[in-house]
Every structure is written in structure tokens, then in C-alpha cells.
Structure 1
Amino acid sequence: MRMEQLPLIREPQLLDKSLNYLVEDEDEYSFGTSSSFNNAGSLFTTTNSSRGLGQFPAASRDGDPGRIMPLSNLKMYTFSELRSATRNFKPDMMLGIGGFGAVYRGWVDSKTLAPSRQGTGMLVAVKKLNPESTQGFEEWQSEVIFLGQLSHPNLVRLLGYCWEDRELLLVYEFMSKGSLENHLFGRGAAIEPLSWDVRLKVALGAARGLAFLHAADKHVIYRDFKASNILLDGGYNAKISDFGLAKLGPSGGDSHVTTRVMGTVGYAAPEYVATGHLYVKSDVYGFGVVVLEMMTGLRAVDTRRPAGRHHLVDWMKPKLSCKKKVKAIVDARLQEQCSVVALQQLARLTFRCLEREHNKRPSMKEVVIALEAIAALE
């Protein structure tokens, strides 16, 4: 069952191709100015598109710490090229459907990224806007600007984009294992339950991705952290995808950004839902919800459960602080895979991430350190 979306999702704004980007409300941060395209959908000429992003310090202890890149790394595709890469968007090439639109499998040359014959070159994922979607130009442009500049092992790689007439498309690296949501809640013989070790690996990878986003002088607040937005490659390495709702964090001495409430019921932090005040640690709450899903094997929201158990956090959070109850809430498919000590530490960390007051939650850097220690126990 797909999660219900929170209200106030903006309608698509597919108007002039020369505009100020993301000037939504007077109290919201304007990401850049004078973004312009040519008629073929060419590269952004935004003068302030990376304003305040700063240099990202190492947020990962093993491998690429992440960096900011120029948007010129992205390939500009024509609609005809992507239609060719996906075999005219054939139904049997479809990988899935999300809030933005359908995602298709495609083939491109591994060096030039130009469309290639099916079965040759490199597999990619092509996301195509559904004209009837509640998402549209702003989400597409946010995705291009953020993923077009931010590079980290735990962020999905954006390869290129297309804007031609009213066609908006994005081209990503192909993630062969699909979404974390599908592995936790999918059905069918092809879906294997994730082991405890893999779940820890996924949690740590996703935490490193969020820590990287939060590490800049100008924090990037992801805003829609959930299991369906965590993709897995062939080695079950987690990568955060879908930056359509991402925001730059507060500036000056401000502690938060005031913005419209957008996201997914069950994952959004309580202070954000109640006030529209978005903090960096609002992401930490969403992370806690996802870890709770991984621990229990249960969805964040499921109205098919008995009354009082519809919202996973309300039902399970009290049990996280009780050592004797923790083992009873663990996904039965994990059997005896996890040690009691590691499980208790993960439960304690999850409880802290789910604190109702944002300033009581740990930073994502602290979460990464705690998860590394838990993984070491195993």
C-alpha cells in the first residue's frame, strides 16, 4: 500500500523557461536566481545555484567523502534519445511508478552515455514526468541542481536530464536491487528478506548519505526520508534518491526554515507537521522511522493493523526503551541473527532519533558513529 501524501503539494508549474528558482514564500529560502535554459533544455546558467553549499567535510570513513561538482557533468538528452534508450518507453521496460512518474530501464553507452542497443553498454533508470502528477517542474529542477552537484557513495548518481516542451525526464545510474521498501514489504518469490547484517549495512550507508548532506556550512535538508527513497545496488549498498523536496537549511543565526508541509505521512517529524518549521534534525526523525521499519519489518503507517497500532512510532517507540521488550518487536524473519547487545543499542539509538523535540535528537554524524560501533559488535 502506497503511503498517503501530506497536503499542500504544489501543482506543476511548467511555464516560462527563464525564472527564479524556488521562490515559494517570503519566509522560504530562495535557492538561486536567473536560472535559464535554451529551447533544447540546455544546462542551467544559475549564478547562485550552489550559493552557501560550502565544502563538504568527510562524512564517510571508508572511501569517497563526497564533493561538489559543476552541473556541466550532466549530459543533456533530447526526448528522442531517451525514447530510443527505453525502446519508446515500452511497458516491459518499466521499473516502477512513483509520485513524479514512471521509471524505465534504458541502455546507454558506458563512455558517451549516448543511447545504445538493448543489452549493450550500461543500464540506466529513466524517470519520466506524469503530466497528471502533483509534482512537476520545481521538483524536477531541485533534483537536477542538488544531485547534479553533490557526489557521494551513498547518494544515487544523476547522469543527465531532458527538458523538451513539456517533457521532463531524469537519467540515473541503475540500482539493480531496487528500493529498501520493496525488500522489506514486497511480496513474491523473487523478494528475499534482508538479513540483520544487510539491514545494518543499509542503515549505515543511508546514515552516511544524510550526514554528508548535513555537513555543509549551508545544510541540505532532505525532507522526505523513507524506505522507498533508499535504493540498493548489487552489493546492497544504500543510496539516497529523489531530491525533489530537498531544501537548503537555515541561514544566519536561524535554527530552521519555515516552509510548506510536504512529504509522507508517518515519516515527517512532528514539529514539521505541526508548525512547518523544518530543522536539520527533522531528517533524523525520518531516519529513525526507517530504522524502526527495518527492525520490525512493519510499515510506518498501516491502517489494516488493529486500532492503536496504525502508526508504528506511536505503537513501538515505548518498547524501544525497555530492554526486555526489544527482542519481542524484532522482525521474525531475522530469527537469531542479531546479538541482544547490538539489538538493544540499535533500539536505544532509534529511540533517540524519534524524540519529539528536535534538539534532543542526535546529529547524523553521531548516528553514523553509533551505527559503526553497533556493526563492529556483529
Structure 2
Amino acid sequence: MKMIFKEILKKIYRRIFGKIYADMEAKVRHLEDKMLVIQSGLWDEEFYVRESGWCRRGDDTPLDHYLTKGWTQGFEPSEKFDGNAILNAKPDLQINPLVYFLRYGRYPLGNAFRAPEETVRKYLDAKAARTQPVKKVVYSCVTNGYDDLNEIRAFYFTPPDWDYVCFTDDETLIQQKTLGIWEIRPLRFTEMDVIRNARRHKLQPHALFPEYEESLYVDANVNILTPYVFQEIARRKTDLLISAHATRKCLYEEFQFVLSGGLIDPELGAKQIQAYRDAGFPENYGLHETNVLYRRHHEPKVKALMEEWLYWIENFTQRDQLSLSFALWKHGISVKESSIHNARVENPDFCVFTHAGRLRKKKET
């Protein structure tokens, strides 16, 4: 009888104190979430009250309401953040999308920082008011529906003294001729496979833009959030700047990573590695992630570098990260001196989100 009584007491104890502990844990997590959101700069109380129609009930605050209920009703924390893009891409998400974004990294399933349409209008007005053509262009290339340009009708930070061009094989976009800030142009290079055609556009701005002196290539899943990259261009006064790799500094290690993941043909990859070793290319020379790429593209040394880089992509593996470091080394260019910080990981200056093509594949499987 005593044993039975003890077991009953244990169950009661666990039930009572377990609930107390769970409630305390939930309150602590809620306070942590509030601090995280406040410190992020993505909370605008006036905006939220205006958009949600919030009115005080007890001790509830607008931020409490957003964190617990408002996000489930489709309300956003500010004009700066698009939580519904994350929810649409990840419909099974059970937590607040802004908290998810802040806690689990800056690589969301959708573009979380959508520029308001006013940004597009202001840019187009400024462009129409120009008295002479600009000499700087931001550009991208979208082939085979791999990215959705509607995700970035304008960058969150869109400087007015640059033009914006996107090359694509999307006939609907080509017929439109423009989308947001973008001038739409058909592909210039179509002789090779889809991936290598896109790479040629990425690597040959000197052929694409004879009328411009400077170009900034960005992958179409990269949103520019701040003036950082443009400030670096102005400050460093160099011919070449490329985003650094997030985790690795050795091209040979990158080869092992992509080979282990089955991302390239192993025989072709082995030939490429051997060619690098035969040339004397050292380990740990440095590594870039090539989703942000600035060039003074008519400079002879830049053109020579791009042609070298393109040779390896056309004749060996199509992954451009696997040949850039070697091309830089061969042309006497330091990875460190040509780097800006990585755009993907924990970076307040960019938002990198999943390619639309990858999302489709994931849904299909």
C-alpha cells in the first residue's frame, strides 16, 4: 500500500511541478524572443499597431500580441520584414517566422526583406531624371526558372546611381522588358548547357556591358540590405571584390566536399584536382563564394582572369567555386585582398534565400 501511495504522490508531484516548470520555461523563452526581436531592428511598434488594429487587453503589449497571435493572422512586425514569405515557403512552421529567422540563421526559405513598391517608384523616378547615362550596372542571370525575380523587384537597399539588368530565358519576362527596377534582357550566350550559359553571363561582363565601366554581379537569391558593398567599392578603389567563403579556405577541401556530396562528376573532378597539383597550386590559398562579384570589367587583368576562369568551367566542372581560386593564383591575385565578407552566414548586409528551383525539387520529392 505504501508503494502505491508513493507512486501516486510522485505522479502528482511530477504533474504539478512539471507544469510549473514548463510554464516558467515558456515565459523565459518568450522574454528571450522579445529581446531578440527588439535588438534585431525589425520591430516597428507604430507600424504593427496601425496594420493589426491592436488594442490593449490587460498586460498584453503589441509585441506580445505579434509573437503569440499576430503572426498567425498574417501581420508583419515592420515594413522591413516579410514573414509571410517564410510561411508560404515553409507551411508546416509552428513558430513565429521572425523568431525562426533570427534563431536559426539568415538563410530563410524566402526573401524576408522585401523592399516596398515605393523603392521601385523612387528609383525609376531618379533614373528618368538623369541628365547623362551612368557607368555602373548591377546585374544577374536567371535560367531555367532556377530563381524567381519577383522575390527581388528591388533590393532593400537600391542606390539610384546604378542601372539594374537581368538576363534570362524566361519568355514572359523578356516580353515584359522590365520588372521592378530591372531591365530584362534575353540571354546573350546560349551555345552550352543551361548552367554553363549562366556562368558565361556571370564571367563576361566585358562582353555584355561595353557601355559600363563597373559591374556588380549578384545571384538572384541575394538581397542587398545595406550600403556595405557599395561603400567597400568606393573605399577600396580596386578592380575586383568577391564575397568570401563562409567555412572553408582551401580549394582542395572544397573539392572533397562536393565530391562527397555527389555534386560533380568524380572522374572530371579528379582530373581537375590533378591539373591544379601539377601546376603547383598550393593548399589553403583561400576560397570565395561567388554570389556577389564586383569588377572594373574592362581592366586587362580582370578580363584575363575572367577568361582563365571561364576556361576551367567550360572544360572541367561547371561549379565556379572550384576554379576561381586557381585562376586568381595563376594571375597573381590574392584571395584575401579581393575579398569582402561572406554574404550568406550571419550577415546583416545581405539576405540569401533558397533558390526557387531547389524549393520546387523539395516539394516534388
TM-score normalised over the length of structure 1 = 0.26
Considering fraction of residues, name the structure with more strand: 1
Higher relative contact order (CA 8 A, sep 6+): 2
